Amino acid sequence: MPLKHNWKDLLLKAWSLRLLYLSLGVQALDALMPYLLDYTSPPWLKGAALLVTAGAGYARLMPQATLPTEDPSWHSERKSLADQSLPS
């Protein structure tokens, strides 16, 4: 599967990935809190991580108007390359 032409924009601007980054941070905090502070993490922290991860899954399914979906020139270039490789 090829990468999308705007993969750098997706890494920085897609809400689904932003929420996954936040989820990673919350889960890392939950895991490191007992070692760094000699304090057990509060139970709501696991719930927060679950909600943020579920939100990321929901955001992944929803269209995001702020991101361009496809570059027409890239698509036409790819299509012309595919047409050239077909036997005539």
Model confidence at 67, in pLDDT bands (50, 70, 90)? low
Domain of 73 in residue numbering reads as: 7-83
pLDDT tens per residue across span 17-57: 888 999 999 999 888 888 888 778 888 888 888 999 999 88
| Cα–Cα distance measured from residue 37 to residue 73, given in angstroms and rounded to the nearest whole number | 54
Fill in the DSSP letter of residue 5.
Answer: T
Q: How many structural domains does the chain have?
A: 1
pLDDT on residue 38:
78
88 occurs within a structural domain:
no
Q: How confident is the model at residue 5 (pLDDT cuts 50, 70, 90)?
A: confident
Q: What is the pLDDT of residue 74?
A: 47
Reported as type and span, the H/E element at residue 30 is helix 15-37
Give a yes or no: residue 16 inside a domain: yes
pTM over 0.85: no
| Within a domain: 1 | no
Please indicate, yes or no, if residue 66 is contained in any of the structural domains. yes
* Residue 40 belongs to a domain: yes
Most confident of 1-15, 29-43, 74-88: 29-43
Query: Is 2 a domain residue?
Result: no
